Amino acid sequence: MKIIHRPFEGCFVLEPTVFEDARGFFYEFYNKRTFERVTGLQVDFVQDNLAESGKNVFRGMHFQKPPYQQAKLISVIEGKILDVITDIRPGSPTFGLWYAVELSEQNHLQLFIPKGFAHGYLVLSDRAKVFYKTDEFYRPEYDSGFRFDDPRVGIRLPVPREKLILSEKDKHLPSFDEIVRP
């Protein structure tokens, strides 16, 4: 495993070591010792989640409010997504900036998102299965988010808004400035 990009302080795009031959491939999806050695972080993941979605589904921009913020390790086990994060850490020099990376079953890339980021993703393939680890349990009373299309943040997706499939919750999220204040 190696870090191939650091879009924000504490955030990493990781590339696992993949062993391929005529039978297929093998790689360690997660190894605590390797993760700590490569990133320099000690993260106690406590929950694993799996979500399946169809093409043009957008989930996000979600986060948990303090004191139950979550760090996440995102991977795609089937299909392809555009994973999007926004820095919501008050006082951060990159506060309000966003970053996107394509994660797929072909590239095997993983995205580590530290606490203090909102997260969302767009499904680019017909179907996608997204697997992610979190270091804090889901707590619905601390669940929050903002509109992905808020001009204050300026997230650009490769699919027109009218073709996106959103949950009722995501359709009615507040603006960035209403929910995230520096």
Phi and psi at residue 148, in whole multiples of 5°?
-65, -25
As a whole number of angstroms, the distance between CA 75 and CA 62 comes to: 17
- Whether residue 40 contacts residue 12, with contact meaning beta carbons closer than 8 Å, is answered with no
CA dihedral 157→96→181→85, nearest 10 degrees, is: 60
Write down the catalytic residue from 108, 119, 121, 132: 132
Q: Of these residues, 30, 62, 68, 142, which one is catalytic?
A: 62
Nearest to 75 by CA among 1, 23, 13, 158: 13
Q: At 177, phi and psi to the nearest 5?
A: -65, -25
All residues at 6 or more sequence positions from 85 whose CB lies less than 8 Å from its CB, including other chains? 7, 8, 11, 98, 99, 100, 111, 113, 117, 118, 119, 120
Is 172 a residue of the active site? no
Q: Is 119 a catalytic residue?
A: no
Which amino acid is residue 114, in one-letter code?
P
Q: Give the residue numbers annotated as catalytic, written as ranges.
A: 62, 132
